[in-house]
Amino acid sequence: MTEKSPSGRKETRSSYTLINMNITTPESPAGLRIGRAFVFRRQTMRIHGRIKMGHYPTPPRVVDLIRRYLSFPSSQFSALDPCCGEGAALAGLVTGTDAVSYGVELDHQRAEESKARLHHVLRCGIEETRIQHRSCPLLLLNPPYDELTLEEEADAKTERQERAFLRMTLPYLLPGGVLVYIIPQNRLDKSIARLLASRFERINVFRFPDPEYDDFKQIVVFGVRKTDNSLDEQEASRLQSVPKMELSPLSDNAEIVYPIPTSGPLTLFRSLLIDPGELEKHMAQSPLWKRFAALTTRSEIHIPRPPLPLHSGHLGLLLAAGKLNGIVGTGEDKHLVKGSVRKVTTVLQEFKGEVLEERELDRYVVSIKVLNRHGEIRELT
């Protein structure tokens, strides 16, 4: 609440709710201490939410109720959860169907757990992905519950995660695709209402059933992606009043059903970041990498006994190629041999009249290093 003082300056009085009593912070020290205690408790909850990265998984009972509002095709389709957590919500939502499931999760541990439940998982933020637009018929979106910047910066114009994730992910839905959007009821503000009303039709809103609703006052928004973007002012006004409405809870007997269109797997679903584990897996399948490994890896060969004794030139070539590297001999004559070849370039200069002519002559020098049992190194060239 903001008031003007006799000096013309604005003074702000804050109202908080504590133990079912409305307390306005007064000037007295006792009241100030109560206000500070409440703010500390509120900040502790914010910090706890940031430690979890704002992740609050959808309860299994709620997922089962959401399923009753969806009609899945008998053929293949794609389903995306850009905040998949451990992957339990999306896996539970499409269980028993022919869905190809895709998830994005920033947290390493949750991303690893989700790989056991979903077909394809990227460990990064949604803004660090490249996903095919207008390709996914089902989008399950339960975004983190925090602001992109610190909540303490009350004067800064910030975009909440709920709207940011909706804005970034709705292009992935194909026209006719279904959105399942889970947010706290009081977060459906004017900006989200207008975004929904301009991109979706057949919008219906339900709250979580009791007792799950008591935790975060969460709601589920269903909608079908429009073919063309056009703002429905009347629908936007209705959605904007949702925070003040008494909503019906999700029901076992759904009267409204959203059919999910069919689609093939996504042709583009990858991270802009390089995951060493994923890179190693893909490189192992690359024909180019196999060729490179074959050219750079020393092959183990077993030379059969020749029908005739080798000439000294033959032995020199084998030594130079490194095919005889290793321990040779026995007893006092036991030693380690390593052969190599290096190129030596000689520059020859010659004046022809007033012109200096330079010629480069390349020759290859065979070097054989021998390490005996006494630690002495000899080089033969």
pLDDT at position 211 is 93
CATH code of residue 223:
3.40.50.150
Which tokens sit at 283? 């490189």
Say whether both 188 and 170 belong to one domain. yes
Measure Cα distances from 265 to 80, 97, 174, 268, 372 in Å: 11, 14, 13, 9, 63
Residue 39 sits in which domain range?
2-51
8 A C-beta contact, residue 277 and residue 115: no
**CA angle, residues 11, 12, 18, in degrees to nearest 5:** 150
Is the confidence at residue 72, as pLDDT, over 90?
yes
Place of tokens 């042709």: 267
Helices marked H in 68-211 — which ranges? 88-93, 108-114, 161-169, 190-199
Measure Cα distances from 31 to 26, 66, 121, 293, 321 in Å: 6, 45, 51, 73, 87
pLDDT at position 26 is 41
Q: Is residue 107 part of a domain?
A: yes
Is the confidence at residue 89, as pLDDT, over 80?
yes
Preceding omega of 261 cis (within 30 degrees of 0)? no
Say whether both 353 and 372 belong to one domain. yes
Say whether both 19 and 66 belong to one domain. no
pLDDT in tens, 167-204: 999 999 999 999 999 999 999 999 999 999 999 999 99
Q: How far apart are CA 238 and CA 51, in angstroms?
A: 35
Measure Cα distances from 256 to 201, 206, 259 in Å: 13, 11, 10
**Domain limit, last residue, from 281, 298, 325:** 281
Structure-model confidence comparison of residues 326 and 303, the more confident one: 326
Measure Cα distances from 11 to 3, 36, 125, 152, 155 in Å: 5, 18, 40, 18, 15
Say whether both 38 and 130 belong to one domain. no
Model confidence band, residue 73 (pLDDT cutoffs 50, 70, 90): very high
Contacts for 299 with CB less than 8 Å, ≥ 6 apart: none
Give the count of domains, the chain: 3
Say whether both 15 and 114 belong to one domain. no
Q: How far apart are CA 206 and CA 248, in angstroms?
A: 5
3-state secondary structure of 301: coil
Q: What percent of the chain has pLDDT over 90?
A: 50
Say whether both 131 and 196 belong to one domain. yes
Q: Is residue 301 part of a domain?
A: no
8 A C-beta contact, residue 90 and residue 101: yes
Q: Is residue 297 part of a domain?
A: no
Contacts for 364 with CB less than 8 Å, ≥ 6 apart: 341, 342, 343, 344
Say whether both 83 and 173 belong to one domain. yes
Q: Is residue 303 part of a domain?
A: no
pLDDT in tens, 1-53: 444 444 444 343 333 333 334 434 444 333 333 333 333 333 333 434 443 55
Q: Is residue 306 part of a domain?
A: no
The interaxial angle of helices 190-199 and 161-169, nearest 10 deg, is: 20
Q: Where are the beta strands (DSSP E) in 228-352?
A: 258-259, 269-271, 326-328, 335-352
Average pLDDT of every residue of the chain: 81
Q: Is residue 94 part of a domain?
A: yes
Say whether both 166 and 33 belong to one domain. no
Say whether both 276 and 127 belong to one domain. yes
Say whether both 103 and 228 belong to one domain. yes
The winner for highest mean pLDDT among 137-151, 251-265, 283-297 is: 251-265
Q: Is residue 224 part of a domain?
A: yes
Say whether both 236 and 367 belong to one domain. no
Q: What percent of the chain has pLDDT over 70?
A: 80
Q: How far apart are CA 232 and CA 270, in angstroms?
A: 34
Q: Is residue 32 part of a domain?
A: yes
pLDDT in tens, 338-376: 888 888 898 888 888 888 888 888 888 888 888 888 888
Say whether both 263 and 118 belong to one domain. yes
Measure Cα distances from 205 to 24, 34, 170, 243, 338 in Å: 34, 38, 18, 11, 76
Full-prediction pTM beyond 0.75? Answer: no
Q: How far apart are CA 10 and CA 62, in angstroms?
A: 46
pLDDT at position 298 is 59
Which of these, 125, 127, 130, lies nearest to 167 by C-alpha position? 127
3-state secondary structure of 375: coil
